[in-house]
Amino acid sequence: MSFEATLLSRLLSLAQQGQRPVIGLNGPVGAGKSTLARRIAQQAAERGLRLAVASIDDAYLPWQPRLQAMAGNPFGVDRVPPGSHEPGLLVESIDQWRRQSDGLLRLPRFDKRLIQGAGDRSGFSQEAADGLLLEGWLIGCRPVGDQQIKAATGSAPSLAGSPWLSADEWAWLPRWDGALEAYQPLWQQLNGLWLLWPMDWRLPRRWRFQAEAQQRRQGGGWLSGTRIDQLVRSSLASLPPELYQQPLLAGANQLQLLDRRRRCLWQGPGREFDPSQALSNR
């Protein structure tokens, strides 16, 4: 079965067992997570499953607390890295939804257009749902601890296109690692994890610039090139893929390797994927 089909099959199977499943979709910036999630939600509806979709971005802290949480970071960003979200808010929403008989799911929402593109929480949505697809670039990532960070500090990237970290970025890594602790109760709510993996970790930047260009052709888009660079780098260097994405492979239900055009080069259970395959497919 395809990447989408296995995800949908998992949702349907758990729902038929009387559960309200939450599936995690992990992928880097620009990989097409939101588009994929909408497509799966439409397919689910055709099968009689009401699938809600949320992003980890919807759990961003409100503007002022977020500024305080991100103050002084080496990327110059006010969102993206661990610690800029309020994952407990999603845990509360999921817990309440699973307890209630009416199946109403109340989720926070975040509008990136507010505050001149800095974004802010824009309220809550509420809908009847049988399942939830939660997408985001750090979904499932776990702390690795100070010892592993010290062992890796200053080392060369081991994955194709993974960024070199500056001294300041390495110095902040223990902080990002510690902030991941707050996300673990949310990951414990997941009934499965699907991964989108780029053949080269320089591609997320390319994809994000392409997305911004498309938005501008459609009358949207507001971020400068510098701002996009900051946001993309903050996702790749606050949690380096070698330390945080690669460990997800062993437990991922399904992985899809993406080429420059986001076409599938390989798919299968994460434990069967060898990252060196990305190099061989370039």
pLDDT in tens, 21-68: 999 999 999 999 999 999 999 999 999 999 999 999 999 999 999 999
pLDDT at 126 (0 to 100)? 96
Per-residue pLDDT at 102 exceeds 70: yes
Under 8 Å between Cβ of 153 and 170:
yes
Per-residue pLDDT at 281 exceeds 70: no
Per-residue pLDDT at 282 exceeds 70: no
Token pair listed for 191: 């009934």
pLDDT at 116 (0 to 100)? 82
> Looking at the domain 3-273, which fold is it?
Rossmann fold (3.40.50)
Measured CA to CA, the distance from residue 282 to residue 154 in angstroms comes to 26
pLDDT at 216 (0 to 100)? 75
pLDDT at 1 (0 to 100)? 85
Measured CA to CA, the distance from residue 86 to residue 30 in angstroms comes to 22
Token pair listed for 63: 């503007």
pLDDT at 50 (0 to 100)? 98
Region 114-131: mean pLDDT is 92
Domains of the chain: which residue ranges? 3-273
CB-based contacts of 260: which residues, under 8 Å, 6+ apart?
Answer: 199, 200, 203, 206
Per-residue pLDDT at 112 exceeds 90: no
Q: Dihedrals φ, ψ of 257, to 5°? A: -85, 125
pLDDT in tens, 16-32: 999 999 999 999 999 99
Q: What percent of the chain has pLDDT over 90?
A: 89
Q: What percent of the chain has pLDDT over 70?
A: 97
pLDDT at 217 (0 to 100)? 74
CB-based contacts of 97: which residues, under 8 Å, 6+ apart?
Answer: 20, 103, 104, 105, 106, 129, 132
Round the average pLDDT of the chain to a whole number and report it.
94
For the stretch 143-161, what's the b/e string if a residue is b when 16 or more beta carbons lie within 10 angstroms of its beta carbon? bbeeeebeebeeeeeebbb
pLDDT at 221 (0 to 100)? 64
Measured CA to CA, the distance from residue 233 to residue 201 in angstroms comes to 11
Question: Which of 25-29, 111-115, 121-125, 271-275 has the lowest average pLDDT?
Answer: 111-115
Of 13, 40, 12, 46, nearest to 25 (Cα)?
A: 40
DSSP string, the chain: --HHHHHHHHHHHHHHTT---EEEEE--TTSSHHHHHHHHHHHHHHTT--EEEEEGGGGBPPHHHHHHHHTT-TT--SSSSTTSB-HHHHHHHHHHHHH-SS-EEEEEEEETTTTTTT-EEEEEEEEE-SEEEEEETTTT-----HHHHHHHTTPPP-STTPPPPPHHHHHHHHHHHHHGGGGHHHHTT-S-EEEEEESSTTHHHHHHHHHHHHHHHTT-----HHHHHHHHHHHHHHS-HHHHTGGGGGG-SEEEEE-TTS-EEEEE-GGG--THHHHHT-
pLDDT band per the 50, 70, 90 thresholds, residue 137: very high
pLDDT at 220 (0 to 100)? 65
Strand 104-111 relative to strand 120-128, pairing:
antiparallel
Region 199-210: mean pLDDT is 96
Per-residue pLDDT at 280 exceeds 70: no
pLDDT at 213 (0 to 100)? 81
pLDDT at 215 (0 to 100)? 75
